[in-house]
């Protein structure tokens, strides 16, 4: 599978300059970073949260964990992790578990971690477990400028984080 059609269409529509980094099949953002020989802090992990019928995509560095308490404070909501079985249906042109870091392309509101705004390069799943989209700093900020951001992650403390 190539770049998910929804991701491709969104990037084209927004006139975003990007390239694609191919790698061996992986199961997580952290594995994708290792396979692509990229710093974990440059690879985005997308976490889908839910508050009743409302969803939110939290975009954080792959070496961190989402801080749901902080997100709820920033957003004035009561989000929790969404069920994986529900998540896969949201991204029907993607391989299960390969959630692109572009919730806005799928009509899902986004909040992103401030740390990503300082990275020269960012990478996120293209819609499969074999490719990453690479954006330069200015292009990332261009697509994230209208979305809220804050200190929404914390260091990993356990294997399950």
Domains of the chain: 5-155 (3.90.960.10)
Strand pairing report for 44-51 and 110-113: unpaired
* Mean model confidence pLDDT for the chain: 93
Distances from the Cα of 47 to the Cα of 9, 19, 50, 74, 149, angstroms:
22, 23, 10, 16, 14
Query: Residue 29 has what pLDDT?
Result: 87
Mean pLDDT confidence for 64-73: 97
Q: Strands 80-81 and 64-66, how do they pair? A: unpaired
- Burial class, 153, CB count within 10 angstroms (exposed 0-12 / middle 13-18 / buried 19+): buried
Q: Is the pLDDT of residue 1 over 90?
A: no
Residues 16-68 pLDDT 10s: 999 999 999 988 888 998 989 999 899 999 999 999 999 999 999 999 999 99
CA 36/CA 39 separation, integer angstroms = 9
The full DSSP string for the chain is: --S-HHHHHHHHHTT---EEEE-S--SSHHHHHHHTT--GGGBEEEEEEEETTEEEEEEEETTEEE-HHHHHHHHTS--EEPPHHHHHHHTTTS-TT---S-GGGGT--EEEEGGGGG-SEEEEE-SSSSEEEEEEHHHHHHHHTTS-EE--EEE--STT-
Please state the rounded mean pLDDT for residues 74-83: 95
Q: How confident is the model at residue 158 (pLDDT cuts 50, 70, 90)?
A: low
Q: How confident is the model at residue 3 (pLDDT cuts 50, 70, 90)?
A: very high
């Amino acid at each position: 599978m190539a770049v998910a059609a929804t991701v491709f269409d969104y990037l084209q529509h927004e006139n975003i300059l990007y390239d694609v980094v191919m790698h061996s099949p992986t199961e997580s953002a952290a594995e994708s970073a290792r396979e692509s020989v990229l710093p974990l802090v440059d690879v985005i992990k997308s976490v889908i949260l839910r508050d009743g019928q409302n969803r939110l995509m939290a975009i954080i560095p792959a070496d961190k964990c989402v801080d749901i308490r902080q997100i709820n404070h920033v957003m004035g909501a009561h989000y929790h992790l969404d069920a994986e079985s529900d998540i896969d249906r949201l991204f029907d042109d993607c391989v299960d578990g390969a959630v692109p870091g572009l919730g806005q392309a799928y009509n899902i509101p986004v909040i992103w971690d401030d740390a990503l705004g300082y990275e020269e390069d960012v990478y996120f799943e293209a819609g499969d477990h074999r490719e990453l989209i690479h954006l330069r700093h200015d292009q990332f900020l261009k697509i994230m400028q209208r979305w809220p951001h804050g200190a929404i992650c914390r260091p990993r403390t356990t294997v399950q984080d």
